[in-house]
Amino acid sequence: MNAKARSRVVVLGLVTVVVAIVSLGIGRYYIGPLGIVKVLLQGISGRYYGMDKNAMAVVLNIRLPRIAASMLLGAGLAISGQTFQMIFRNPLVSPDVLGTSSAASFGASLALLLGLSALMVSITAFAAGIVALFLIYTIASRTRREQTLSLILVGMVVSSIFSAATSFVKLIADPNNVLPAITYFLMGSLSGVGSGDLALVAVPVLVSIAVLLVLSWKINLLSLSEDEARSIGVNTRLVRAVAIVCATVITASSVAVAGNIGWVGLIIPHISRMLVSNDARYSFPSSVFFGASFLTVVDCVSRAASTIEIPIGILTAFIGAPFFLYLLFREVRYDS
CATH code for the domain defined by 2-335: 1.10.3470.10
Tell me the pTM. Answer: 0.91
> Tens digit of pLDDT for each residue in 57-70?
888 888 999 999 99
Phi and psi angles of residue 99, each rounded to the nearest 5 degrees, phi first:
85, 10
Helix intervals (H) in 192-279: 195-214, 216-219, 226-231, 236-258, 264-275
Phi and psi angles of residue 187, each rounded to the nearest 5 degrees, phi first:
-70, -25
Question: How high is the mean pLDDT of the chain?
Answer: 88
Residues shown for the chain: 336
> Tens digit of pLDDT for each residue in 239-259?
999 999 999 999 999 999 999
Helices (H), strands (E): how many in the chain? Answer: 15, 0
Q: Does residue 50 register a pLDDT over 90?
A: no
C-alpha 331/C-alpha 336 separation (Å) is: 9
> Tens digit of pLDDT for each residue in 80-119?
999 999 998 888 788 888 889 999 999 999 999 999 998 8
Buried b (16+ CB within 10 A) or exposed e, 164-183: ebbeebbeebeeeebbebbe
> Tens digit of pLDDT for each residue in 295-327?
999 999 998 877 788 899 899 988 888 877 876
